[in-house]
Structure 1
Amino acid sequence: MQTADDHWLSEEEFDAAVQDALTRLPRRLQRHIDNVVVFVADEYEPEPWEAPDTELLGLYEGIPLTERGNEPWAMPDQITIFRNPLERMCSTREELVEQITVTVVHEVAHFFGIDDDELHRLGWG
């Protein structure tokens, strides 16, 4: 008998699902991903000016490739994947793993300069 917690992944499994999503990106894109760190966090903490119930699945912070110069001193861009919101929105383990992949692809797309409107048009929103 399945319980409501059966779809959850351990921290290690969740991290592995994020890593797997990154390694499944096409190689022609992977070779352009440089100076980017990827984190997993439990929850997004909204900024003071945001609605307190803002719930994000992932967040890209940085300068998209389409807007970069050639500053050798640039801090790494950061992608954060939020574990708890992903778990709350999914009802099965398979759905959770698939949504992790969708979220990773979505955030990596922001790194490449693709905005939310274009991602929604492409079915990755």
Structure 2
Amino acid sequence: MAEEALDTIPAELLAPVGNLVIHVEDFPDEDTEREMELESPFDLLGLYRGVDLTRQSVADLRGGPDMIFLYRRPILDYWCETGEELPAIVRHVLIHEIGHHFGFSDDDMERIETME
């Protein structure tokens, strides 16, 4: 489903993404839960890990590719609670995390979404 969602994102948005790796896991790991100060592992649907484009430099030594994590169980729980279409939720979370890759904050993306 994540691959199908990725295929629906316009090529011009994905062109600068490069070697972004997408992982699907059941839940965030314990370190992520602590770092994000989550009350529950169901509180996080997705996460971007890496250096966003606004902070990347050709002089930087990169330790590995940037990654997006999609958390299956929290996404499914959200789907059950809201009744929204599951592919639309996955696509929304994926686009949100790609936005972090571009350096957008949660507030930036919320403003963009309200403009639609």
Report the TM-score range of the alignment, normalised by the length of the smaller protein.
0.7 to 0.9
**1:101-112 superposed matches below 5 A:** 101-112=91-102
Compared CA separation, residues 32 and 83, structure 1 to 2 (3 A)? same
Query: Within 2, Cα distance between the matches of 1:112 and 1:49?
Result: 20
Instruction: Report the number of matched residues.
Output: 108
Runs of 4+ off more than 6 Å = none
Give 1:93 deviation, angstroms.
Answer: 7.9
CA radius of gyration, larger in: 1
Provide the residue aligned with 1:11 in structure 2.
none
Alignment partner of 1:47 is 2:29: no
The Cα RMSD (Å) is: 2.2
Correspondence for 1:60 among 41, 48, 57:
48
Alignment partner of 1:69 is 2:70: no
Secondary structure of the residue aligned to 1:80 is strand
Compared CA separation, residues 27 and 51, structure 1 to 2 (3 A)? closer
Identity of paired residues, percent? 31
Stretches of structure 1 that go unaligned for 5 or more consecutive residues are 1-16
Query: Within 1, Cα distance between the matches of 2:84 and 2:38?
Result: 31
Secondary structure of the residue aligned to 1:39 is strand
Secondary structure of the residue aligned to 2:54 is helix
Stretches of structure 2 that go unaligned for 5 or more consecutive residues are none
Compared CA separation, residues 120 and 94, structure 1 to 2 (3 A)? closer
- Higher relative helix content: 2
